[in-house]
Structure 1
Amino acid sequence: MQIELLNRRRWKTRIELANAIFEYLEIFHNRQRRHSSLCMLTPVQFELQAQPIEPVA
């Protein structure tokens, strides 16, 4: 996070920095990183795998 987010620009306020950190963690990092509890899949991959394939009518 230090290299990918914090070192890339200067932040005008703490609120702006806090919003950027929240967005990075919740939107990018947590959705992209692999979780050992999900058999080393990302949450998106796990959800796609767990959804049943519905037949086209």
Structure 2
Amino acid sequence: MPDWLGATRIANLAPPPAHWSAAKITAYWEEAQVILAALGHAHEGLAARLEQKIRLYPAAA
């Protein structure tokens, strides 16, 4: 995975579109965790921001 992918997921973890199913929302949240695990080492600040966005994402509830 390219390092920039982590930064794009930060921007994309806005509230999901209303037409997304619960399964798709959960899958997107899980994928964000995979990205963090794979790329969190690339930039400490971006990793912290992505962790925060993951915690706040609806699937985390």
- Calculate the TM-score normalised by the size of structure 2: 0.39
Query: Which structure ranks higher in relative contact order (CA pairs < 8 Å, sequence separation ≥ 6)?
Result: 2
Normalising by the residue count of structure 1, what TM-score does the alignment of the two structures yield?
0.41
Larger Rg: 1
Bigger fraction of residues in helix: 2
